[in-house]
Chain A
């Protein structure tokens, strides 16, 4: 039974040691005092493993007495006497004298009496009442004890402080007394101060445990926060004691989750600098809490991400992904990597640390949330990983992921594959040989025209069909897996311009394979391409000022002009396609495009005209459109492709011309920069490859423009969509040139 606290006796004891001893003499034996368990919410069996759990027990005694018919003397009075005893026995078995016999009224062994039925609920009620009494006692005790204990914690004697801390730790484990602690700012401040000043390990353990217990309640969190607990807890992250680390990180975690202002306070206390090195620890549950803290601190906070980077965060996180298999830890770690993966500084560090391979390891796992997080992170990182080696396994897994029906999985897999095949011949070959072409076509079919899937899938196919040894294999594979009609259909309305842009580039590559020319034509590609060329050219013409840009869905119409014309250029190698292109009245527009200030547009339009001019009638039509003048100018182009096409068209136009005309062509060729000196050719080519400014020193009518930098390093932050293939004049046409355009 509870012993009432005699505070007068306590006050008589002046000596602190005696005071503490007196405290320890007041004990409860109701069962609550044996130690209510308060463990870390996500840690089980750590640090305080010696604390037994409180358990409730009760017993009932049933005595059955059998009577025969002839021996029931004065049953009624006997029953009246034993009823009270039976109630007492049921409710307070510990008050019955040993050996007491009570008459039972149970006649049928299969059916309990009313008192027997009520014995269990009555025991529970009694236990609850006892708890309430003890709770009240606990609360009163704690309230009276808190000031004293606070003084003891501030004592100079470390032994006293240690003892006091132990007692407070005990109190912090019970609801009632913990409430009293939380409500005393002086007590919480004393605990915090003791924790950060002590050199005694046990005291440090007790005090961190106290704060940990308090941190499960809003009031406690606020009290810790207001007492400067956060900087103190951050300091405890340097402790060599595992239990202190557990309590400290868990308390900080609770603060970060539930206490307003905690994130800022942890950052200000250099919490990140202390937490990142803890990634070297091996306990998976500890790591799960630590990584979750990092995620809470770094989400949406660029400075935090840079601090994590500076302290070796990417390496530590990638190590965890590579070497652990506790699902919750992998999930929390993948969340941190996802947050860091949008940071341009962290991205290359994660990739260099082997992040792509480590994340790819979990794509075949059984945890959908982990798989999805890894995919999103890989997608974010992919533009920084185009030159990364050792991604064979990842590429294989991604190709298999293309058979998923989950749109998120398709979105990510196609996006990652698109980037990893960008300018990487080895990856292109690997994906082609892994049946990537067929899988990408299937993904497009399954995408329900969702641009998030179709655009990267088409881009990936475009990469696979050019600039690597197996490009021709890929071009044929598209046809053999019935991909051509599917791809050509993407040119139809409604137009989503990024998809259109990717598709015209893919069609251009597919047309490089002669066997694809007829299927592309039969799918109706030529009329679609011409329609798109006309529309995009008209839209591009509508820009009237130097500052305005003709963007639709983030794509410039000049890019569509270039792409469609480029596709027609290669399609025109087929004679039947050539006739169809001519019949669609494209020559006047193509001649106009020779005046474009954009070098790539000039190149592709000269290329188409070069092919069309193989046909004599077409050559005459080209000549009739006045193509000679711009073509003569183009002979002087530094771009050897342009100069070649221009010369070829002029040769073909002049075939039936008189000698004077041919001589004029020759003179122009002679005066061109089309040198025989191979060194000069190479120099001209190197100028274009290095991205230097082109200077049209011949003709003031040609404006300067930037050339394309092929080094697509993922560090660039601007929208890569706009930085397309080739040279773009950012803005207006030269007024002089505009006059030469035919309407």
Chain B
């Protein structure tokens, strides 16, 4: 977001857009919202609809990646049977 992105928008409108986006991102990441935050989104459903298409499609916070374990560090000799 920057101040010259959308000409004609008041600071309050930009604040609402930013907050809607933050709350939608939180939901996407699986976090909970407060009742007032849910109400906020309902109040600005038009902004919600326009922001939804702009959210990133990839997963945001999936936690730690899988890790391989390196077992082949040294040779072990078995008894010659």
Interface residues of A (CB under 8 A from B): 299-300, 331, 335, 338-339, 341-342, 347, 369, 373, 376, 379-383, 386, 415, 418-419, 421-423, 455-456, 459, 462-463, 466-467, 505, 508-509, 512, 562-563, 566, 570, 573, 600, 603, 607, 610-611, 614, 640-641, 644-645, 647-648, 651-652, 655, 662-663, 666, 669-678, 681-682, 685, 708, 710, 712, 714, 716-721, 723-726
Contacts and interface: CB of A to CB of B under 8 A. Distances in A.
Contacts of A708: 65
Contacts of A716: 70
Contacts of B14: 666, 670
Given A640-B56, A640-B60, A682-B56, A381 B66 contact: no
Contact of B22 (A512, A566, A644, A718): A644
A640 B68 contact: no
26 contacts: A341-B72, A342-B73, A342-B74, A369-B78, A379-B72, A380-B71, A381-B72, A467-B66, A573-B32, A610-B31, A648-B23, A651-B19, A652-B34, A669-B1, A669-B18, A672-B1, A674-B1, A678-B56, A685-B56, A708-B65, A710-B65, A718-B70, A720-B68, A720-B70, A721-B69, A723-B67
A681 B24 CA distance: 15
B76 interface: yes
A415 B67 contact: no
**Contact-residue size bin, chain B (C-beta under 8 Å from the other chain):** 35 or more
A386 B66 CA distance: 11
**Interface of A (DSSP majority class):** helix
The list of the 8 closest CB pairs from A to B, nearest first, reads A725-B64, A380-B72, A725-B65, A383-B68, A422-B66, A342-B72, A666-B15, A644-B25
Given A373-B78, A467-B62, A383 B25 contact: no
Contact of B67 (A335, A459, A717): A459
Contacts of A641: 29, 60-61
Contacts of A718: 70
Given A369-B81, A467-B62, A670 B2 contact: yes
Nearest to A641: B61
Interface of B is mostly: loop
A270 B71 CA distance: 31
A383 B31 contact: no
Interface string B38-69: 00000000000000001110101111111111
A415 B67 CA distance: 12
Contacts of B2: 670-671, 675
A463 B66 contact: yes
A566 B62 CA distance: 10
Contacts of B18: 647, 666, 669-670, 674
Given A342-B75, A422-B66, A640-B25, A676 B54 contact: yes
Contact of B63 (A299, A466, A640, A671): A466
A466 B62 contact: yes
A509 B63 contact: yes
Contacts of B61: 603, 607, 641
Nearest to B25: A644
B32 to A, nearest CB: 6
Contacts, number: 173
Contacts of B55: 678
Contacts of B26: 610, 644-645, 648
B52 to A, nearest CB: 11
A604 to B, nearest CB: 9
A614 B38 CA distance: 12
Nearest to A640: B60
A662 B73 CA distance: 56
Contact of B71 (A383, A673, A723): A383
B31 A419 contact: no
Contact of A644 (B60, B65, B72): B60
B65 A719 contact: no
B54 A383 contact: no
Contact of A685 (B11, B58, B78): B58
A300 B66 CA distance: 31
Contact of B1 (A462, A610, A670): A670
Residue of A422, A467, A648 contacting most chain B CB atoms (<10 Å): A648
B60 A670 contact: no
A685 B15 CA distance: 23
A338 B74 CA distance: 11
Given A644-B25, A676-B1, A685-B56, A721 B70 contact: yes
B72 A347 contact: yes
B77 A415 contact: no
A367 to B, nearest CB: 10
Contacts of A339: 75
B56 to A, nearest CB: 5
A130 B17 CA distance: 113
B14, B25, B71, most chain A CB atoms within 10 A: B71
A85 B79 CA distance: 60
B69 A676 contact: no
Contacts of A674: 1, 18, 21
Given A383-B72, A455-B69, 10 more contacts: A341-B72, A380-B72, A463-B66, A467-B66, A508-B64, A648-B22, A669-B15, A674-B18, A720-B68, A725-B64
Contacts of B72: 341-342, 347, 379-381, 383
A573 B33 CA distance: 10
A645 B22 CA distance: 8
A377 to B, nearest CB: 9
Contacts of A573: 30-32
A335 B23 CA distance: 59
A468 to B, nearest CB: 10
Given A456-B69, A671-B3, A714-B68, A651 B22 contact: yes
B72 to A, nearest CB: 4
Contacts of A644: 22, 25-26, 29, 60
A512 B18 CA distance: 27
Contacts of A508: 63-64
A507 B43 CA distance: 37
